[in-house]
Structure 1
Amino acid sequence: MPVADTQGGLVLAERRGAVAVLTFNRPERLNAWTNAMEDEYFDLLLAAEDDPDVRAVVVTGAGRGFCAGADLAGLRNVGDARPEDLARARPRDLPLTLRKPLVGAINGVAAGLGLVEALYFDVRFASTAARFTAAFSQRGLIAEYGSSVLLPRLVGHSRATDLLLSSRMVDAAEAHSIGLVDHLVDGDVLAAAVDYATTLATTCSPTSMAVMKQQLRADVPYAEALRRSEELMLDAFRGPDVSEGVSSFLQRRPPEFPPLPMRTSHVDV
């Protein structure tokens, strides 16, 4: 199903050319996370995944916050939770499986689960008003949903330990200096993220980016990564994207890369 502009939901969708912009839309609660919001977000991500006209996705928050974490109003009876109560139809780390570039435009506080969602992005843009906190230790929780692996990959083991154990608030400048965010924007963070995503969408091969994301996700020793990259390189040479990339460069024209195949295709990308 193509991604179309939507209004009034818990997550808004907007098309800007080949970029789908998704906006968490509970501004009165600083976009605190609920299962219903997650369902809408994941539905839109999967729609973007299957829409050949969408080449990249940007995610931001409405109002002053990006996502203030789980809505604690729904956790009052969490002590009675059973394993089946925590089960969801789709894995919480579904954003990591998106083959298309997923870019964050972090406009305000990203706390707890909001920080985890930011870790799932491929590239993070942050407003100077953004702030970050793990928050888990101050709620008696643990490092949730893979953050104990994802956070050290970005900032290193020691800094990740500091942020997870202390739950201290990190401002945008520090987040940028330690590598938690990639681009610090003193201005319209959404416009900057969309400009970047548009460049990816219009100049980069969707297949190349999907394979690179797969390579980056793989937790394998260097020697195995090198061997696998040689296999993938041969696959790339046999596909249409390399020919188009070289031809467009030599002819000094924009490339016209084909979209990704549907996930139901036999092509494994």
Structure 2
Amino acid sequence: MPLNMLVARHLSRRPPPASLGTLVKACTASSAHVTASFSPGATSATKAGRIIAPPTSLASSASIPSRAFAASASLKENYDHILVERCFPENSDVVGGGVGVITLHRPKALNALCDALFEDLIHAARVLDEDDDIGCIVITGSGKAFAAGADISEMSKREFANAYKTNMFSQWADITKMSKPIIAAVNGFALGGGCELAMMCDIILAGSKAQFGQPEINLGVIPGAGGTQRLVRAIGKSKAMEMVLTGNRINAQEAMDAGLVSRVIDSELLLEEAVKMGYGIAEKGGVAVRMCKEAVNAAEEMTLSEGLRFERRMFHSLFATRDQKEGMSAFLEKRKPNFTNE
């Protein structure tokens, strides 16, 4: 009996987080009998033709299917502190139409951002950013937290000389250097470094139980990974000043009202909706998507006149792409465009 979809292989053998439970349901009733395994030594052709049994974390929402794939040599077989999945829409042959999902996975520590976790995160994000099958990336957290801040047990041991010489937290900003859009699906606590990580992403979606805050003042320090800079740009000086001086949290609705997040979604549907949004972005022309991201981000660094000039130049340059020709032809012909990211 034919399957109506294939499921992606989970790239980590660690136990899957409960927060991913709404991502993908069992394929169909018939697919419940599939118990195929993955052989790391198999050839690409063998891997591509094999149904990969879904991980537990992908076994509860038919609305976002995934497909089997040959594991990239660049993605690690196992990450210590994250889970990685490549998801694809059902019955779609869109070039670059997949979504990479990275789950911060230190649930006992509320996904506290230790150095090793960030190394895993940056590595996986870079690989997905260079993956031609992936058009968008989603970052979320396992358990009841997105990330409850930096790892204080790790940070408390540091002295000024070490923090200064290593330019502590500077590597975190590598997330902002990815060319593909990144969606933060904030499922719970996003405090301190967790809030700062969310703000490094391009779109923040908040689960109904999400909480945001910069409580560093309670530890005798200030935000060190963008909390005093990106937060001001997101919600304005007065509200940002209140948050960093008091250490108080705001809930999901308050975050949306302030302009920190774009949408509040029921927590049970958050990851599902984030991946759906990712699919919608990934089906657009990839060159234009990257230029949109670059132009919008440039608005924070440029004057209005500089930004307008930059925008026009990028707009003009897109007339050298096949996607521009295809997009406008499809509009005039009243059909869906078939973008090739060229």
TM-score scaled by structure 1?
A: 0.89
| 1:157 and 2:228 matched | no
Structure 1 gaps, min length 5: 261-269
User: Which residue of structure 2 aligns with residue 84 of structure 1?
Assistant: 165
Matches within 5 A, 1:104-115: 104-115=184-195
Out of 167, 171, 193, the position equivalent to 2:274 is 193
Report the Cα offset of residue 180 of structure 1. 1.2
Report the Cα offset of residue 150 of structure 1. 1.2
User: Aligned partner of 2:270: which letter?
Assistant: V
Out of 73, 76, 84, the position equivalent to 2:153 is 73
Distance in 1 (alpha carbons) for counterparts of 2:341 and 2:219:
44
Distance in 2 (alpha carbons) for counterparts of 1:87 and 1:170:
27
Deviations 1:180-211 (A, max 9, x none): 11110123110011111111111x22111211
Distance in 1 (alpha carbons) for counterparts of 2:10 and 2:334:
34
User: Which residue of structure 2 aligns with residue 246 of structure 1?
Assistant: 328
User: Which residue of structure 1 aligns with residue 10 of structure 2?
Assistant: 5
User: Aligned partner of 1:67: which letter?
Assistant: A
For the structure 1 residues 36 and 162, does the alpha-carbon distance in structure 2 shift closer, same or farther, using more than 3 Å as the test? same
| Matched position secondary structure for 1:188 | helix
Report the Cα offset of residue 86 of structure 1. 4.3
Contact 2:136–2:182 (8 Å) recurs in 1:
yes
Report the Cα offset of residue 251 of structure 1. 3.2
Count of aligned pairs between the two proteins:
256
Identify the structure with bigger relative contact order (alpha carbons < 8 Å, sequence gap 6+).
1
User: Which residue of structure 1 aligns with residue 213 of structure 2?
Assistant: 133
25-34 or 76-85: bigger deviation: 76-85
Distance in 2 (alpha carbons) for counterparts of 1:101 and 1:60:
14
User: Which residue of structure 2 aligns with residue 61 of structure 1?
Assistant: 141
Distance in 1 (alpha carbons) for counterparts of 2:278 and 2:306:
31
| Matched position secondary structure for 1:105 | strand
Report the Cα offset of residue 156 of structure 1. 1.2
Deviations 1:108-134 (A, max 9, x none): 001110010010111111111111111
Distance in 2 (alpha carbons) for counterparts of 1:150 and 1:75:
22
User: Which residue of structure 2 aligns with residue 208 of structure 1?
Assistant: 288
User: Which residue of structure 1 aligns with residue 33 of structure 2?
Assistant: none
User: Which residue of structure 2 aligns with residue 14 of structure 1?
Assistant: 85
Contact 2:214–2:227 (8 Å) recurs in 1:
no
Distance in 1 (alpha carbons) for counterparts of 2:278 and 2:331:
20
40-49 or 206-215: bigger deviation: 206-215
Distance in 2 (alpha carbons) for counterparts of 1:201 and 1:190:
16
Contact 2:184–2:203 (8 Å) recurs in 1:
yes
Contact 1:52–1:259 (8 Å) recurs in 2:
no
193-202 or 204-213: bigger deviation: 204-213
For the structure 1 residues 135 and 195, does the alpha-carbon distance in structure 2 shift closer, same or farther, using more than 3 Å as the test? same
| Matched position secondary structure for 1:100 | coil
| 1:256 and 2:327 matched | no
**Structure label with greater radius of gyration:** 2
| 1:145 and 2:225 matched | yes
| 1:52 and 2:119 matched | no
User: Aligned partner of 2:269: which letter?
Assistant: D
Deviations 1:22-72 (A, max 9, x none): 100111111011111101100110001110000000110011111011111
User: Aligned partner of 1:73: which letter?
Assistant: S
Distance in 2 (alpha carbons) for counterparts of 1:257 and 1:44:
26
Report the Cα offset of residue 75 of structure 1. 2.3
Distance in 2 (alpha carbons) for counterparts of 1:78 and 1:175:
32
User: Which residue of structure 1 aligns with residue 24 of structure 2?
Assistant: none
Structure 2 gaps, min length 5: 1-7, 15-78, 89-97
| Matched position secondary structure for 1:148 | coil
116-125 or 226-235: bigger deviation: 226-235
| 1:96 and 2:176 matched | yes
User: Aligned partner of 2:84: which letter?
Assistant: A
User: Which residue of structure 2 aligns with residue 266 of structure 1?
Assistant: none
Contact 1:4–1:13 (8 Å) recurs in 2:
no
**Coordinate RMSD, CA, aligned:** 1.9
